Chain A
Amino acid sequence: MKDFALMMIGAALVNNVILARFLGLCSFMGVTTRIDTAAGMGLATTFVITVSSMADWAVQHYLLDAYGLGFLRTVTFILVIASAVQFTEMTIKKVSPSLFQMLGIYLPLITTNCAVLGVALLLVEGRMSFIGATLFAFASSLGYSLVMIIFAGLRERLALAQVPRLFAGPPIGFIVASLLAMAFMGFSGISTG
């Protein structure tokens, strides 16, 4: 239990998907103009990363490893992720058409989010058990959502600040992102301390 807890803290904070591994930067800059949209995108991505990681683990162990097809890993994982997104979209539509109308816009964007593929490939490198891999994926995506929401909050405040004209918009966004990344570097003390 303690091992799982440490692994999850490490995945969410110390080796954060966005700020330490630099994955999912497109949605990090693109969907963080408001906290509510960032939270929606974060939760949708959390769901897809967790579900696709479960499927990826099964495919890796019972298909790719079993038949020596490791060289097809990336292509197969992309297919699994696209299927997971489609599955999610169809399920949300079936569960509640109203929810689908409200949330459906985020789902197509997740297919092209490299964080989903990145986490799946990290799982394979980690050689984890099924529950370990799923918890790692869940924690990584929680870290992703956390950073998205924090950054969206900062950008909402930035929109009210008087920023010099040359720095307005994306430039000040990148500067804030770099400061946030440095702040998250403080969590690396957890692993050494």
Chain B
Amino acid sequence: MIKVPTVAELTAEGKIPEILFWVGCAGSFDERAKKITKAFVKILHNAGVSYGVLGAEESCTGDPAKRSGNEFLFQMQAIANIEVLNGYGVKKIVTACPHCFNTLKNEYPELGGSYEVIHHTQLLKDLLDQGKLTIEKGSYKGKKITFHDPCYLGRANNVYEAPRDLIKKLDAELVEMKNCKAKGLCCGAGGAQMFKEPENGSKDINIERTEQALETKPDIIAAGCPFCNTMLTDGVKNKEKEGEIPVLDVAELIATAKDL
């Protein structure tokens, strides 16, 4: 049984966590994404990271509102969140959601919220480099893993290598899709598309992307975003490959390798 500390509890005990884990709405509520959250927290505990979560004090960053065009709602969310974050004196934030990552990192500073914001794959990479996290080699040996670049991690913030380095550390064979890194194809969920039906077209974007992933004949499709995960999982189901090719977050890959 792992006890996840909230920043409120820690503050009451006079402790200041080194890093805030921003769980995000998907990580908090979505059944699939909750598994990613748990896998990540298990690694944090295993590596002895001093962290806390906001719990009920966390609220949507406002990303889907802003991308929908509702600047007012976005800024209401942002200012309220910044008051909470600044109230606790938060300096560093890690999140497993590239949308939260991007918004906190790039759009909050101008509104009074300046923090060091990193994606969870970057933290995991740091922990590995510092020797705080070790990966027993072998469990993915000979497995082909393809990584889908989340737009808000890759193109939006130029983070391409951290998740790839982790996959390589797992001893797995990293295979690239025909569109990868700066040319990565969107999963179809960004810009608030996650919350609406797609416009009329010849195909759904997640199907197109899943086809690109399947072309690499992977054993596992790796993702670094809860929304991409949902879209690709749906895509794999549509291709009747569920059970055959899992869609897993990089944190889940590591947690499984460590048998956490």
Partners in one complex: no
**Residue ranges of A at the interface with B (Cβ–Cβ < 8 Å):** none
**Residue ranges of B at the interface with A (Cβ–Cβ < 8 Å):** none
